[in-house]
């Protein structure tokens, strides 16, 4: 598995120019934002340039990265944005808007299928087989190995193409507007998760 990417420690260099919308993913020690620290953020632009920012020193100041992620003129594409947006809120202390989530989109328009993972979407919609072998590896290590870094790059490589395919399906099924409403709510949902309402439905009667 070989993917081209640029690797950075702690922040993006100030002179990097990224084009258009951004595909974003994160790697952490687990799925609990309060317990499991953020280790890596991956970004790909519309031209396919991929950058990996490794927080190996657990310093989350990252002014260049924060400025980029806070740019509301850029669409940010995630797979399972709820987790990524929440952990970025928690550690980088910034809000992210202008979101597209491929998992939410898939659940809204691929109702013929109960499988909505990135692997499933890449295989069905793009005809691409990706590996998830490094998904549960130790992302907190001071030195990430080449397989981990290639895996991280892979997870943002196809998100732009998936967004385009899923947007077409959402439009076909008449669910684009409800998808966009879900995307707009994601920053608030992330805040609720970070405040402790991760497993509680505040809209439920009981």
In this predicted model, which residue has the larger pLDDT, 46 or 135? Answer: 46
Please indicate, yes or no, if residue 129 is contained in any of the structural domains.
yes
3-state secondary structure 121-169: HHHHHHCCCCCCCCCCCCCCCCCCCHHHHHHHHHHHHCHHHHHHHHHHH
How many domains is the chain partitioned into structurally?
A: 1
Q: What is the CATH number for 119?
A: 3.30.420.10
In this predicted model, which residue has the larger pLDDT, 77 or 198? Answer: 77
Predicted TM-score of the model (pTM): 0.94
Domain of 16 in residue numbering reads as 6-195
Model confidence pLDDT, tens digit, residues 15-26: 999 999 999 999
pLDDT at 135 over 80: no
User: What band does 1 get if pLDDT is binned at 50, 70 and 90?
Assistant: very low
Please indicate, yes or no, if residue 121 is contained in any of the structural domains.
yes
| CA 165 to each of CA 24, 146, 168: distance values in angstroms, whole numbers, following the listed order | 17, 30, 5
User: What band does 134 get if pLDDT is binned at 50, 70 and 90?
Assistant: low
pLDDT at 100 over 50: yes
């Amino acid at each position: 598995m070989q993917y081209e990417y640029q690797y950075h420690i702690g922040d993006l260099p100030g002179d990097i120019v990224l084009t258009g919308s951004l595909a974003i993913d994160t790697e952490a020690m687990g799925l609990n934002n309060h317990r499991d620290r953020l280790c890596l953020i991956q970004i790909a632009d519309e031209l396919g340039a991929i950058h990996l920012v490794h927080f190996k020193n657990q310093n989350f100041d990252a002014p260049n990265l924060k400025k980029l992620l806070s740019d509301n003129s850029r669409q940010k594409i995630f797979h399972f944005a709820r987790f990524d947006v929440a952990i970025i809120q928690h550690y980088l202390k910034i809000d992210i808007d202008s979101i597209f989530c491929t998992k939410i989109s898939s659940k809204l328009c691929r109702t013929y299928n109960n499988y909505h993972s990135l692997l499933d979407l890449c295989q069905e919609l793009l005809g691409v087989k990706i590996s998830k072998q490094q998904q549960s590896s130790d992302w907190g290590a001071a030195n990430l190995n080449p397989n981990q870094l290639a895996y991280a790059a892979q997870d943002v490589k196809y998100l732009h193409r998936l967004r385009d395919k899923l947007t077409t399906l959402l439009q076909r099924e008449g669910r684009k507007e409800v998808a966009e409403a879900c995307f707009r709510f994601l920053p608030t949902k992330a805040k609720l998760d970070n405040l402790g309402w991760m497993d509680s439905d505040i809209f439920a009667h009981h």
